[in-house]
Amino acid sequence: MYTPFDLARLIGFLSIAVCSMTYGQTTKDRPYATIVMVRSGNYIGSSCTTTIRLPNQRAFDLSLKSVVRYTIYSQGDIAITAMTDCPASSTSPAASRSRQVSINIEHGKVYYIDGSVGRFELSDSLDLAKQLGKIMNVMVQAESLELPIDRASLVDPKKKANAGQCTCFLISKEGFLVTNAHCVEGASKFTVLVNKNGITRSSKVELVATDPSNDLALLRFVERDTTLGSPQFAFRTSGVEQTERIYALGFPYAEEMGHEIKITEGIISAKSGPNGDISKYQISAALNPGNSGGPLIDENGNLLGVLYAKSTIAESAGYAIKASYLRAFLDNVEGYNGEELSNQLKDLSMSARVKALSEGIWILKVDQ
């Protein structure tokens, strides 16, 4: 039978195994926590299957007589759900049951879950050590950084030069701006480089609200500029199909590539993001650091979504948060009373549309 010391050695061995793997973005030197899930070999419930789900991640099985060591890079309150399905038998009908554990994840810590049938609860490592005597099936899993559980909570030890620069765009004549939550996470100061009639000036903005689960953030100018006008696009939240032509606007690598707005063209490659995430579009338009938070528009100048990230595992693939999720976020922000937007660009050429749109799309700089 395993002793607590044996359990510690097992966990240490698995640390080496999983940390040598990469998932989407590099995990080298990235801080993480560990969740150890154990299912005993008790006869009761041996025919039942248990499926584990974490937000935005692929589900996996917690098999009979197995240990799963899960490396997690996101922090904060994380809900872990176990769905147990038991087939019918001669004495009982088929049954399903869902259990959930919420853990306030902190980097550098190890959390233990007893996942035996009939249980799914936090446990002490000493208690679990008693169950490991005959468990030989050890599996490693890790949070995918292609679509993290909570991107805004990630800590990147090797921030790029452009980590403090994103794109934002005007969403209301009242001076409200939209960007990504990961652009503003942990920042103490926000500055927007507003270009008006060829003149660029720095304007201070403040953070109003964030939606980390959908990576959205709402900002507002500290001093309202009444000359900015209203956004010239309309929300498009339905009827979007694959192969539709789209345009991504923003400021990739602004310091190196200049402060003129950049536009890349592509199509809707898929109406879902990584792991089938229905809150995202996959697009073929090129995205680079600094594009985050910019608008995705269709051929008529309607807002389809907010640029989110480029794929780290596939060439010519990027993602955008759908406009319907942006609208839902805005509707739930207290104090935000955005006007109904209408498309004022339909009768313009594409070059004229980009010029008009660029008057409300700016560089966002943040200080950590």
Give yes or no: residues 237 and 268 share one domain.
Answer: yes
Q: Which residue has the higher pLDDT, 303 or 158?
A: 303
* CATH code of the domain containing 320: 2.40.10.120
- Say whether pLDDT at 233 is over 90: yes
Same domain assignment for residues 136 and 198: no
What b/e readout covers 106-122, taking b as 16+ CB neighbours within 10 angstroms?
eeeeebbbbbbbeebee
Nearest to 178 by CA among 351, 312, 298, 341: 341
Percentage of residues of the chain with pLDDT beyond 70: 84
Asked if residue 349 and residue 318 are part of one domain, the reply reads yes
Q: 19-23, 118-122, 126-130, 339-343: lowest mean pLDDT where?
A: 19-23
Neighbours of 332 (CB within 10 A): 10
pLDDT at residue 4 above 50?
Answer: no
End of a domain among 86, 119, 153? Answer: 153
Segment 17-41, tens digit of pLDDT: 333 222 334 565 688 999 988 887 6
**Whether residue 125 sits in one domain with residue 13:** yes
213 and 258 assigned to the same domain: yes
Q: What are phi and psi of 313, to 5 degrees?
A: -125, -5
pLDDT at 2 over 50: no
Is 117 in the same domain as 206? no
Asked if 22 and 114 sit in the same domain, the reply is yes
DSSP secondary-structure letter at 223?
A: S
Number of domains in the chain: 2
More confident residue, 354 or 313: 354
| pLDDT computed for residue 79 by the predictor | 93
309 with 293: CB under 8 angstroms? no
The residue written with tokens 């190890």 in the block is 110
Of 137, 153, 169, the position where a domain reaches its end is 153
Residue 100, domain extent = 4-153
The band of 286, judged by pLDDT with boundaries at 50, 70 and 90, is very high
Last residue of a domain, one of 153, 177, 196: 153
Dihedral Cα 284, 289, 293, 298, nearest 10 deg? -20
Residues 304, 181 share a domain = yes
User: Mind listing the pLDDT tens digit for each residue in 241-252?
Assistant: 999 999 999 999
The pLDDT value recorded for residue 91 is 82
CB 43 within 8 A of CB 65: no
Average pLDDT over residues 162-180: 88
User: Three-state DSSP class for 13?
Assistant: helix
Mean pLDDT check: name the lowest of 3-7, 150-154, 202-206, 265-269: 3-7
Q: Are 294 and 248 in contact (CB under 8 A)?
A: yes
Amino acid at 120: F
Q: Report pLDDT for 135.
A: 61
d(CA 312, CA 130): 41
213 and 315 fall within a common domain:
yes
Q: Which two tokens stand for residue 173?
A: 């004549």
pTM over 0.85: no
Residue 153 confidence (pLDDT)? 85
pLDDT class of 350 with cuts at 50, 70, 90: confident
Q: Return phi, psi of residue 320, to 5°.
A: -140, 140
Predicted pLDDT at 129 = 61
